[in-house]
Amino acid sequence: MKKMLVLSLTGLVVLGSLTGCVKIDETGETAAETAAAEEAAAADSEGASEGSAEEAAPAEEASKEGSGQVVVYNWGEYLDPEVLDMFEEETGIEVVYEEFETNEIMYPKVATGAIAYDVICPSDYMIQRMIQEDLLQEINFDNVPNIKNIDEEYMKWSEEFDPGNKYSVPYCWGTVGILYNKEMVEEPIDSWEVLWDEQYENNILMQDSVRDALMVALKLKGYSMNTTNEDEVAEATDLLIEQKPLVQAYVIDQVRDKMIGEEAAIGVIYSGEAIYTQRENENLEYVIPKEGSNLWIDSWVIPKNAANKENAEAFINFLCRPDIALMNFDYITYSTPNKAARELIEDEDIRNSTIAFPTSDMLENCETFQYLGDDVDTMYMDYWNKVKSS
């Protein structure tokens, strides 16, 4: 139920959970790669298998018809279904809606042009890649006046992967941090360093994700989580190998249930998941380590071959309406960049939550993941394999 944020290497099809009603799943993703998953992604991109053809049929037909439709490709459970009904009723535009599990499954379907989706919701680093590969078209913001409701702070963050904010509109965002049990940890946590504290042996949960895991070690060492310097990645790898005997498990969505059930004292987790866990266990606390972390953003973009660009812009504009953004926030629990929607949140604890809406100071050392290219991706994966096999 949680939206899985895909941060794996290009070409890897990763497994995770989807949030929303749980990215995310944020939101993280596993670094495990399987032949079956890779074949599934290839089948999606080629539309070759009968199963893929059947699954793609509604969007495929709609992409050919054009006119009064908008073909949407989004994460699973990442939008309130009632919003789609409201959009159709208010605009007369029919929504053809498909879901994906990872950026890597979505990407080949868009890159090959097999289906002309009108609007899709990739993550930051994937948007950067798609811009570089000329797979997206600029948004006509005259048709998206509700962009005014998006907080300027998140528009600035978006410039890290979309310079000039020409191609994307932020939809959801969040951070990766440490969730800890105040009854099982002796002192307040403010650093990644606690993940190497021997007193918590077999009580630490790490993300089973190449970029997320290496991010923790790179940030602790004072390096960028987007470094292309192999010596720095090697240092981070050595640090993770040193930590491994202390780790109870490398997990994704399991961290949520394990922490709620007090099966571990400390876990690396996505912020949207942390909000959910606190509702279930009041002893849990979330912190963004002082060394910095990953700030991720999922945004709406329009593919180059979209058949209904103006309808896509109408759809994006509708989602930027404060009441609609609030509905989606309530449904998926991940932070909204819509400042007007935040003002409408009735629960004061949620509206002022530093998990959902951390201060600028808390985000000072954070970064968004960047697309590093195939060669660097392979290098990261090679070092991650050393950790897993050690």
What tens digit of pLDDT does each residue of 125-163 get?
A: 999 999 999 999 999 999 999 999 999 999 999 999 999
Two tokens at 379? 């290098």
CATH number of 176-294+370-389: 3.40.190.10
Q: What local confidence, expressed as pLDDT, does residue 365 receive?
A: 97
How much of the chain, in percent, has pLDDT values that exceed 70?
Answer: 83
For strands 168-181 and 266-270, give the pairing: antiparallel
Give which of 218, 222, 291, 210 is closest to 250, Cα–Cα: 210
The angle at the Cα of 23, spanning 285 to 351, to the nearest 5 degrees, equals 50
Coil vs helix vs strand at 178: strand
Question: pLDDT digit string (tens) for 252-286?
Answer: 889 999 999 999 999 999 998 898 899 899 999 99
Which pLDDT value is given to residue 60? 63
Residue 99 is encoded by which pair of tokens? 């879901």
Cα separation, 305 vs 148, in Å, equals 27
pLDDT at 315 exceeding the cut of 50: yes
- 186: helix, strand or coil: coil
Cis peptide before 24 (omega within 30 of 0): yes
Strand-pair partners of 295: 175
Digit-coded pLDDT (tens) for 325-339: 999 999 998 999 999
Residue pair 3/23 in contact (Cβ under 8 Å)? The answer is yes
Domains 35-173+295-351 and 176-294+370-389 share a fold: yes
pLDDT score recorded for residue 201 = 98
Could you state, in order of their start, the residue ranges of all structural domains in the chain? 35-173+295-351, 176-294+370-389
Packing angle, helices 124-132 and 103-111, rounded to 10: 20
Q: What are the pLDDT digits (tens) for 190-239?
A: 999 999 999 999 999 999 989 999 999 999 999 999 999 999 999 999 99
In angstroms, the CA 353 to CA 55 distance is 40
3-state secondary structure of 231: helix
The runs of H, that is alpha helices, within the chain are 35-46, 50-65, 81-91, 103-111, 124-132, 152-158, 210-220, 230-243, 254-260, 271-280, 309-319, 322-332, 339-344, 348-351, 374-389
pLDDT at 59: 67
Say if CB 24 and CB 74 are below 8 A apart.
no
- The rounded radius of gyration (Å) of the Cα atoms in the chain is 20
The token pair at 53 is: 């053809």
Does the pLDDT value for residue 46 go beyond 50?
Answer: no
Q: Is the pLDDT of residue 97 over 70?
A: yes
Closest CA to 122 of 78, 59, 70: 78
The answer to whether the CB of 199 falls within 8 A of the CB of 206 is no
Nearest partner of 177 among 270, 107, 90, judged by Cα: 270
Neighbours of 53 (CB within 10 A): 14
Asked whether the predicted pLDDT for residue 379 surpasses 50, the reply is yes
- pLDDT reported for residue 38: 40
* Beta carbons of 274 and 95 less than 8 angstroms apart: no
pLDDT of residue 19: 34
Q: What pLDDT does residue 102 have?
A: 86
Mean pLDDT of the chain: 87
Q: Which residue has the higher pLDDT, 153 or 48?
A: 153
| Euclidean distance between CA atoms 383 and 367, whole angstroms | 21
Quick check: 71 and 58 in contact, CB under 8 A?
Answer: no
Which fold, 35-173+295-351? D-Maltodextrin-Binding Protein; domain 2 (3.40.190)
What's the confidence (pLDDT) of residue 252?
82
